[in-house]
Structure 1
């Protein structure tokens, strides 16, 4: 099955809420501080928030266009680096892992960061390179806690991840 990644739209909200519910049920972590929002509230929070987060979904081919995972990122700002995109959530259901969906989502987030003029992509969610594999070249490991690997992709590493060339740089 060929997967693609696109921006979340209202038609994805019901399945996205199901994926979030599945994630909360399957993955270890702290108890949610609130009940999951309704489909309508989740859609409003994700698609109409101010500033709106970047919400991407992995979509299977027609006719069903199944959702195979999601990524949620938000724009931040560093006074000495400028705007950055911060990936806070990236999740793919266990039966679909190992098909490259995680990498597709991460690469698309990097493309959004490059296109938006981001100075770096900060990854604060589990990445497709879980231990014991080391992070890819050009990635700075910020900390290790609770099995999460926060890292930052800067400049050329971010452009390479997104499949684009760094500004003014060689391919």
Structure 2
């Protein structure tokens, strides 16, 4: 199947927002999605964007049952390792179910890696739910290392009231 991978535009945010919800449903966490396409537009297409995004697009003749041509996305951002340097973090990689198995996911992942290499990133990191064997197998087949098993790293998060409490404990400037 023909498809192309391109940088997302502000106008793609509604489609990306739709696929974010589809991914959340697949991951059994649809109630966790609180972001709107307007926030995606604001945060991804400002002077200093918080993320970058690629979309997979198929020609009109291969559009989805619903008439959609944007059928996948990869959303990523940059972090920094004090041990290794520039790092890319892949937040989401998603392909609509009816388009899986056509190389679109591999194309998106490879394009993210290519973008990172042009920006001199030394690694690409991501998180996968422990029950998501298809994704774990997909990334492993491409050479990804599971750091949970090999190095024992845990993924830690502060949010909501706990983040608020932590911020409130910051030393005050005098």
TM-score under structure 2 normalisation? 0.68
Matched, 1:45 2:33: no
Task: Note the C-alpha offset of 1:73.
Answer: 0.9
Change (3 A) 1:134 1:3: closer
Alignment partner of 2:79 out of 76, 81, 84: 76
Matched, 1:112 2:110: no
1:22-171 mapped onto 2 (5 Å cutoff): 22-29=22-29, 31-32=31-32, 35-37=34-36, 39-48=37-46, 50-61=48-59, 66-125=69-128, 130=135, 135-136=140-141, 138-143=143-148
Task: Note the C-alpha offset of 1:30.
Answer: 7.1
Spell out, residue by residue over 1:62-108, the C-alpha distance to the aligned partner (whole angstroms, 9 max, x if none). Answer: 58781111111110101121111011111112111111111010000
Change (3 A) 1:92 1:78: same
1:15-26 mapped onto 2 (5 Å cutoff): 15-26=15-26
Partners of 2:118 and 2:125 lie apart in 1 by 15
The aligned length equals: 143
Gaps of 5+ in 2: 150-154, 156-174
Contact 1:83 1:118 in 2 (8 A): yes
Change (3 A) 1:41 1:129: same
| CA RMSD between the two structures | 3.0
Partners of 2:124 and 2:133 lie apart in 1 by 15
Considering only CA atoms, is the larger Rg found in Structure 1 or Structure 2?
A: 2
Matched residue, 2:14 = 14
TM-score under structure 1 normalisation? 0.69
Task: Note the C-alpha offset of 1:7.
Answer: 0.7
Q: Which has the higher helix share?
A: 2
Partners of 2:88 and 2:123 lie apart in 1 by 7
Spell out, residue by residue over 1:81-140, the C-alpha distance to the aligned partner (whole angstroms, 9 max, x if none). Answer: 111101111111211111111101000000011000001111324799635578137532
Matched residue, 1:162 = none
